[in-house]
Amino acid sequence: MAREGFEEVIALHDARSGLRAFLAIHDSSAGPAFGGIRRWAYEDEDQALRDSLRLARAMTYKCALAELSAGGAKMVVLDRPTLDVPAGYRAIGDFAERLGGRWYTGPDVGTGEAEMRSVAARTRYATDPGPEGPGQLAEATVEGVFRGIEAALVHLDGQADWPRRTAVVQGLGEVGAGLAKRLVEHGARVRASDLDAERAVDVSRQLGIELVDPATEFDQACDVFAPCALGGILHDLTIARLRCRIVAGGANNVLARSAHGERLHERGILFAPDFVLNAGALVRGALFHLEGRREPIDAIGRRIGATAARILERAREDGASPARVAIDEAEDRLAARRARRG
């Protein structure tokens, strides 16, 4: 916590529902901390706690680079057969309400509409999935990722030139399927994979895209490899296999360690940092809660595309990796606002 500048980590235990969870609040120096609820079958509390810390810090970077008056947090829930899911999420809602607006929450892996309805029934500080809420969070993420990929192509070649591009999308969940659709609409050739074979076949039929075996997703020759599944997938072994020019996608914390941003750079692969590209849902949710407005999706996409273009340009000027430049810029902004606060 001290090394990464964390403010607070709270362990939750609700005997009635069997809920065991951690809330990591990384930074609230610029405003309330925003972060969704991830429910996962973590092996133990240590693994869950580490995940909450990594994800919360990434949320702070997202907020800083998206120039939001907000900071980063993340709740992780240990998914266990003994957990009464609706009651557990209601307990989370009561807890958010008790925090009184210090933490705003929304969906994440393992937390969908049904779970968010349970949370939002108990607190004002959660994304309501119904008509009262900000709406279209995943669509905002997709648009940001799409515009970020476009910025990366323009950065390398001066134009997006979609009909001549091949993209490989890893994961066809909410973000991956939406991104694949957007790419197809623009004429790109899309190949994709999903560990859930039924889902993969459904989406590929709907979009008319080619499927690849998940075991070969890193080996595909393509312009863009778009990770839209889980984090930590790029490490020494997988980076050595990549045959793409650009890595740009929606998955959080796609690099196993930040040094892997340098590995990609050394291999001549342009990495558009995930926390720049996948901030769309956060931007939409934060502006809704903080300013009471539903920011149009295309405006969010343009904003993220412009930030990505600026980071990539600065990386080129400095001869540094985009991952390093994005982290440094986020840290500088954080330091400045902490200094202003005194």
Least distance (Å) from ligand NAD to the CB of residue 288? 14
- Give the residue with the Cβ less far from ligand NAD, 49 or 211: 211
Least distance (Å) from ligand NAD to the CB of residue 336? 25
- Please say whether the beta carbons of 52 and 76 come within 8 A: yes
- Please say whether the beta carbons of 173 and 249 come within 8 A: no
Least distance (Å) from ligand NAD to the CB of residue 192? 8
Least distance (Å) from ligand NAD to the CB of residue 313? 24
- Please say whether the beta carbons of 59 and 73 come within 8 A: yes
Least distance (Å) from ligand NAD to the CB of residue 157? 26
Does the annotation mark 62 as catalytic?
no
Q: How far apart are CA 286 and CA 210, in angstroms?
A: 36
Quote the Cα angle for 82-109-243, to 5°.
135
DSSP 8-state code for residue 113: H
Q: Which residues contact 161 (CB under 8 A, 6 or more apart)?
A: 153
- Give the residue with the Cβ less far from ligand NAD, 160 or 175: 175
- Give the residue with the Cβ less far from ligand NAD, 14 or 64: 64
**Run of H or E residues at 190:** strand 189-193
Q: How far apart are CA 212 and CA 92, in angstroms?
A: 39
Tell me which of 26, 39, 74, 284 is the catalytic residue.
74
The torsion angles phi and psi of 11, rounded to 5 degrees, stand at -100, 135
DSSP state string for 60-105: HHHHHHTT-S-EEEEEEEE--TT--HHHHHHHHHHHHHHHTTSEEB
Q: How far apart are CA 280 and CA 277, in angstroms?
A: 8
Q: Which residues contact 179 (CB under 8 A, 6 or more apart)?
A: 142, 145, 146, 169, 226, 228, 249, 250
Report the residue closest to ligand NAD, judged by CB.
173
Number of H helices, E strands in the chain: 12, 12
Least distance (Å) from ligand NAD to the CB of residue 251? 4
Residues that bind ligand NAD (CB under 6 A): 108-109, 137-138, 141, 170-176, 193-196, 199, 214, 217, 228-231, 250-252, 278, 281
- Give the residue with the Cβ less far from ligand NAD, 52 or 170: 170
Positions marked active-site: 74
